[in-house]
Amino acid sequence: MTTHKLAIVVPYRDREEHLRVFLPHMKSYLDKQNVLHNIYIIEQEVGKPFNRAKLLNIGFLEADTDCDYFVFHDVDMLPQNVSYNYEELPTHLAASASQFNYGLPYEGYFGGVTMFSRNSFNKVNGYSNEYWGWGAEDDDILYRCHLAGLKVQRQSPGILKSLNHDRKIDEQDYKKNIERIREMWLKKLDWENEGINSCKYSVLDRNETPERILIKVSI
């Protein structure tokens, strides 16, 4: 029997209160499921708009030699009834989050918590690095799955508790992201050459404890 090792990859900046709740909850939850895992917190330095998708690409690249499947996980979502066992196909785990009244905000929602095998993530070339600020990066990777010929599945029940936080949306960045996802749908863009194979960054600091691996990066 093959033992798969999971990387939980968390994009992070200025959410210390959530992180204090998230880390012990995740460790306890995964230990109860007997899931071999590491938790990677990828922290973006200040100075630029938050780039969730690029931080997830960085987490994949940093964890790739140690783990063979990956759950890209927002820090404000705590699993209540979610399986983190290995799936080969891209799998949406956040089917029923409290922030959306335990439903989906829209039919094609693929955000919050998603699982990829190493093979699947490489096939879609990861996330785009070009979504700055809030919005659309999860729609982009869903379309990449379609373009790469990968079937996507949604876990049931996938119940998560959402932690409260203020969402700051820069309207200009959001408009750019919406324009980019429309271009992706219409023109498919150059997704095979823009993603993990073009992800440039530098590691500013790496700090490891038994609970997590915290990597601060400049992007």
Is residue 140, in this structure, part of any structural domain at all?
yes
Strand, helix or coil at 214? Answer: strand
124, part of any domain: yes
CA–CA separation, 196 and 122 (whole Å):
8
Q: pLDDT (tens digit, 9 = 90+) per residue, 78-131?
A: 999 999 999 999 999 999 999 999 999 999 999 999 999 999 999 999 999 999
Q: What is the CATH number of the domain that holds 42?
A: 3.90.550.10
Reported as a single tens digit per residue, the pLDDT across 168-211 is 788 899 999 999 999 999 999 999 999 999 999 999 999 999 99
Check: pTM over 0.85? Answer yes or no: yes
Q: Comparing C-alpha atoms, which of 9, 11, 10, 8 is closest to residue 133?
A: 11
pLDDT more than 90, % of the chain: 92
Give the C-alpha separation, 195 to 154, whole Å.
23
CA-closest candidate to residue 8, choices 67, 61, 52: 67
Tally of structural domains, the chain:
1
Q: Is 10 among the domain residues? A: yes
**The pLDDT of residue 164:** 87
pLDDT of residue 2: 59
> What is the reported pLDDT for 166?
73
Alpha-helical runs (H) found in the chain:
16-32, 52-63, 118-123, 137-147, 171-187
Paired tokens of 115: 């699982």
1 lies in a domain? no
211 touches 137 (CB < 8 A): no
Distance CA 6, CA 19 (A): 19
Q: What is the mean pLDDT of residues 136-151?
A: 97
- Residues 67-77 pLDDT 10s: 999 999 999 99
Residue 131 resides in a domain: yes
For every residue of 134-195, DSSP letters joined together read SSSHHHHHHHHHHHTT---EE-SS-EEEEPP-PPP--HHHHHHHHHHHHHHHHH-TTGGGSS
Query: What is the band of 1 on the pLDDT scale with cuts at 50, 70, 90?
Result: very low
Average pLDDT over residues 15-35: 96
Tell me whether residue 152 is in a domain: yes
The overall average pLDDT reported for the chain is: 95
Its domain, for residue 21, covers: 6-218
Please determine, for residue 65, whether its predicted confidence score (pLDDT) is greater than 70: yes
- Please report the sign of the dihedral spanned by the C-alpha atoms of residue 207, residue 65, residue 11, residue 76: negative
Burial 173-207 (b: 16+ CB within 10 A, else e): bbebbeebbeebeeeebebeebbbeebebeeeeee
Q: Is residue 13 part of a domain?
A: yes
